Homo-oligomer: A and B are copies of this chain.
Amino acid sequence: MLITTNKWLIKNGTFAVLTEDKPVIRGYMLIENDRITYIGEERPKLDEQITEFDGKGLFFLPGLINTHGHVAMSLLRGYGDDLALQVWLQEKMWPMEAKFTGEDVYWGSALSVLEMLKGGTTTFLDMYDHMNQVAKVVEQSGMRAVLTRGVIGLCSPDVQKQKLDEATAFAKDWNGKADGRITTMISPHAPYTCPPDYIEKFVQVAHDLNLPIHTHMSETKAEVEQNVKDYGLRPVAHLQKLGVFSRPTLVAHAVHLTDEEIEILAANGVAVSHNPGSNLKLASGIARVPELLKAGVTVSLGTDGPASNNNLDMFEEMRLAALIHKGATGDPLAIPAMEALRMGTEYGAKSLFLEGVGSLSAGMKADFIAINMDQPHLLPHTDFISHAVYSASSKDVEHVWVDGKQVIKHGECLTLDEERIRREAQAAFEGLLARS
């Protein structure tokens, strides 16, 4: 049944509350409008008759939060894989991206939003161009998003100014829109694609609009070395010097860090979006996530663009985060399942500077998902947290709610026209090829 009242109760559910002493409880969750107003083992006392949803066999988790991506790049998924990085970028990605129209971005984003919602992601960050189109998709889909125009500054002062103005206008126009589901950030693309004085202008805009900053940082070893060569500083000190960390900041990747840089990030409250799938596929390396977490840095998870991942399955990112750091450090306790799940939810919300999102507890936004646990690969029912991280996939997601509204029901999207999106996305890719 589709819940149409604004107050309803889930019974017989199993819930990932992720508290230290009891991470999983069986019981009840009450939803009123866009909020969770009760969660617990006892049935809440209610005066009125209430709509009930039977949660038997379902495991309820906070909606997953994808903290770094360029979702319209789904149109280039699988286009030119297994090439050296520079060949892939220069001969495949950039020429095609240069041809992207607003409509391409719309259909690519719609394809990705569909994939993410069906896979249990309820919030994503997107840094790209034609952001009005991405915002439109978010508005229609019912999803939550943090949107930001990513600006590459390797151009004339005039074009730089135009791009900055555009990024500023977008951030201003869309912040708080779609019933508050959309917030915005300010994004100079990266230290190696934006001159220092240009980055300083973004910092000023972020101050003026009271918005956080998002940027790529230290993804590859080569880019770190180039930064030292060009500016005499590694990227962390460079960004600090330019004032970036005077704003709430989320950096993507942060693969190549020294101990000192980890300390600076921790001291400045800079959050990190760890993108394990993309970092492995592009051979960027393995980020020092256990050390970052130990230093107190908020580390969340991102898929990066679907052309370098090649999907938007946050279960896979949680699993990769839980697995690769064990393998790389030799410590089987490096990132336990519960920590990986927090990286995919609670720490995601924190990384995006979102209040009231990222966990299942009274007072939080009703962004949550249900996975069907009665499947061979999720049996026997030993440890649901472990199963969610080590065994499940995005295809196990049965239902998804955002802001208290159901957007996925038995795997079907209720807000977007899946068949049309699939057709249009394929056509958009073929159109890009034809315009070669």
Chain A residues engaging chain B, CB cutoff 8 angstroms: 74-79, 81-85, 88, 111-112, 114-115, 118-119, 221, 277, 279-286, 306, 309-313, 320, 322-324, 326-334, 336-338, 374-377, 379-383, 386-387, 390-391, 393-396, 418, 421-422, 425-426, 428-430
Contact = CB atoms under 8 A, between A and B. Distances in A.
A59 B45 CA distance: 53
7 contacts: A77-B387, A85-B332, A88-B332, A111-B376, A281-B323, A286-B328, A380-B426
A78 B390 contact: yes
Nearest to A310: B390
B81 A386 contact: yes
B327 A386 contact: no
Number of copies: 2
Contacts of A338: 82
A374 to B, nearest CB: 6
A330 B390 contact: no
A393 B314 CA distance: 13
A197 to B, nearest CB: 33
A326 B82 CA distance: 10
Given A82-B386, A337-B82, A377-B313, A77 B391 contact: yes
Chain A interface, >50% SS class: helix
A324 B386 CA distance: 22
A285 to B, nearest CB: 6
Contacts of A333: 82-84
A320 B429 CA distance: 27
Q: Give the interface centre of A324, A336, A337 by most chain B CB atoms within 10 Å.
A: A324
Contacts of A320: 323
Nearest to A282: B332
B283 A326 contact: yes
A323 B79 contact: no
Given A82-B333, A310-B386, A328-B328, 10 more contacts: A74-B380, A77-B380, A81-B383, A111-B376, A221-B330, A283-B331, A310-B390, A379-B425, A380-B430, A381-B429
Given A310-B387, A379-B77, A396-B395, A285 B429 contact: no
A111 B391 CA distance: 14
A309 B111 CA distance: 31
Closest 7 CB pairs of A and B: A395-B395, A280-B327, A380-B429, A78-B382, A310-B390, A115-B376, A280-B323
